[in-house]
Amino acid sequence: MDKLSYASDSSTSAWNTYLQQIERVAPYLGELSPWVDTLRHPKRALIVDIPVQMDDGTIRHFEGYRVQHNLSRGPGKGGVRYHPDVDLNEVMALSAWMTIKCAALNLPYGGAVRRRQRRPVRRRQRRHPRRSVLAVGR
């Protein structure tokens, strides 16, 4: 199993849990076994810095992640996580699990998830989606 350079070494990380699950089911995949390596690697992972002017005029920087795990079945489907403790490993795992869920239900979607450190207040909410699209793409 190849180790991703940006993946956590922690055996308890969500990404490592996902990889262990893939290893457990790999022997049962039969003719689909060549796809196991594809499932071990996200297609794209992006880390962005989002500078935001706060209500008091100060500028704060928030880190965001966007992971597209696998898009072979169609566009990425997933959600947004707002929490200061969510890290890249968790976002990678969530996008991978979404890939598996969509495939299991035969939905024409791949897996993708994005994360921000915290939920923006109403005044800033209008600017964030536009900046995210420009920084992350479609």
Render each residue's pLDDT in the chain as its tens digit; 138 residues. 455 555 556 667 999 999 999 999 999 988 888 889 999 999 999 998 889 899 999 999 988 899 999 998 888 888 888 788 889 999 999 999 999 999 888 988 888 887 766 655 555 555 555 555 545 554
What superfamily in CATH does domain 41-136 come from? Leucine Dehydrogenase, chain A, domain 1 (3.40.50.10860)
* pLDDT value of residue 31: 87
| CB neighbours of residue 127 within 10 Å | 13
Q: Are 95 and 14 in contact (CB under 8 A)?
A: no
The contacts of residue 72 (CB under 8 Å, 6+ apart) are 38, 110
* pLDDT value of residue 4: 59
* pLDDT value of residue 7: 59
CA 134/CA 50 separation, integer angstroms: 11
pTM of the model: 0.74
